[in-house]
Amino acid sequence: MRGHAGEPSHVLVIATLGAERRRRLQRRSRAAAPEPDAAAVAVGRATLIDARPIQGDPAAWLRGVDCEAEALAGLAVLNSVLQRQRIVAADAAAHGIAPSQAIALRVGVGGGEEVANGRWSSATEVTLGVGRRRREAVLSPQERLAAVLSGRDVILACEELTLRARADVDAGRWREAAFQLDCALRAAIAELASWAGQGDLDERIELLASAAEKTADAAQTALIGGLSAEQIAALEASLLQLEAALRARAATAR
């Protein structure tokens, strides 16, 4: 992998471990056993190798490095590759990997032959801190899901758009984030009007209207190029306001 200036940044090695890949589905159906055995599942392994050599003793570097930060930074690079693969393959169902979805996260050091084959001289298995949690809604996910499935609550279009904007912001895709957040805010203002007068939603909708103006300007800028630091900061603040408004709306369904 190379950056815009052509400088090497990483080497990415992909391997499939465990079960053989299942053959493509046959055109002809066949009877299924009443109690089938669990199918063996292939496991993918991605080894991300920093193209910059470690200065000094590799073992000392491993002892002193923030392994959690290194693992998350590596996962971000891998997700950037998956996002590009999603685009070039035109596969809308493809997605990135959340830290909780990884079977194992390791940070290690090794020689060229070792790391090229997914091995290492020394490594640390990373367990993410208990305090690293996803943003939680006022209602627990299970409670709200039950409310949605039973027809006591609804999923808004702006909620899906907001999640897409959050994914772009977290990945640093600022142009895409501007476009996505512009749509999400306009949808939220229209959809949340049905809950006007409940709690502090009127005030929140006013804040979203103000945020929508700034985001619309950022989206216009994004049509022709990158965003300024001020516009990026405004996008992040607007997204937080939108997420807070949606949490407040969800609380009214209790």
Residue range 163-173, pLDDT digits in tens: 999 999 999 99
**Half-sphere exposure in the Cβ direction for 213 (13 Å, CA):** 5
123 close to 106: Cβ distance less than 8 angstroms: yes
Mean pLDDT of 22-43: 74
- Taking the C-alpha atoms of residue 211 and residue 209, their distance in angstroms, rounded to an integer, is 5
pLDDT in the model for residue 137: 41
Domain boundaries, the chain: 10-125, 141-251
Give the up-direction half-sphere exposure of residue 243: CA atoms within 13 A in the CB hemisphere. 17
Kindly report, residue by residue over 41-86, the tens digit of the pLDDT.
888 999 999 988 888 899 999 999 999 999 999 999 999 999 999 9
Q: What's the pTM value of the predicted model, to 2 decimals?
A: 0.80
Q: Is 239 helix (H, G, I), strand (E, B) or coil?
A: helix
User: What was the pLDDT predicted at 205?
Assistant: 96
Find, among 226, 83, 101, 233, the residue nearest to 169 by Cα: 233
